[in-house]
């Protein structure tokens, strides 16, 4: 039975409305789902932080990190105390100290428990020190601890640890 036959004008308009609604739902649903999906939100934050490191730009850190008294960010035995220390003495100066800088955060695993979450990522750093031309190639892991505040995930703490990639002939064997 054709439901549009008895009222062709209303039926055609109704069909057009249905198609428009379907198109809007198809286009908007992935965006809405990503905003409500904590895993997608956390991965997006980690990727924004990766870009901040690559561009020596503190803005993603200021946007996504919770700046609080006692905050500490650990990296391979060193630490930055507070968000300003991290940005002003680590993130931004690396743009002037390194050339051919590549940083990759990959294989990002996320875990949520209510208003808290953490992410673990593989990290790889490749760069050349401008001061002496020394080449750096490190691999390791980084952990991010998050808390949801007013519906937005904020980084509370990070811990990164990496070591030099050894030539294949020097790899450790058991």
Tell whether 76 and 26 lie within a shared domain: no
Give pLDDT tens digits along the chain (174 positions).
443 444 445 565 555 554 444 444 444 434 344 456 889 999 999 999 999 999 999 999 999 999 999 999 999 889 999 999 999 999 999 889 999 999 999 999 999 999 999 999 999 999 999 999 999 999 999 999 999 999 999 999 999 999 999 877 555 566
Tell whether 130 and 46 lie within a shared domain: yes
Tell whether 32 and 96 lie within a shared domain: no
pTM here?
A: 0.75
What range does the domain containing 11 cover? 7-36
Tell whether 150 and 123 lie within a shared domain: yes
Which CATH number belongs to the domain containing residue 116 in this structure?
Answer: 3.10.450.50
Tokens encoding 20: 């428009």
Q: State how many domains the chain has.
A: 2
DSSP for 116-139, written as a single string: EEEEEEEEEEEEEETTT--EEEEE
Tell whether 50 and 136 lie within a shared domain: yes
Residue 1 lies in a domain: no
SS3 69: coil
């Amino acid at each position: 039975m054709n439901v549009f036959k008895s009222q062709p004008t209303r039926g055609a308009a109704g069909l057009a409305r249905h198609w428009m609604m379907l198109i809007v739902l198809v286009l908007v649903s992935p965006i809405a789902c990503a905003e409500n999906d904590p895993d997608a939100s956390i991965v997006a934050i980690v990727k924004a932080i990766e870009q901040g490191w690559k561009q020596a730009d503190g803005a993603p850190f200021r946007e996504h990190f919770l700046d609080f008294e006692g905050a500490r960010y650990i990296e391979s035995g060193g630490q930055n105390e507070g968000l300003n220390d991290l940005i002003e003495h680590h993130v931004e100066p690396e743009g002037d100290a390194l050339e051919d800088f590549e940083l990759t955060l990959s294989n990002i695993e996320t875990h949520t428990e209510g208003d808290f979450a953490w992410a673990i990522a593989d990290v790889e750093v490749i760069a050349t020190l401008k001061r002496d031309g020394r080449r750096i190639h490190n691999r390791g892991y980084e952990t991010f601890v998050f808390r949801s505040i007013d519906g937005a995930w904020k980084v509370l703490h990070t811990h990164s640890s990496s070591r030099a990639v050894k030539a294949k002939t020097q790899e450790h064997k058991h």
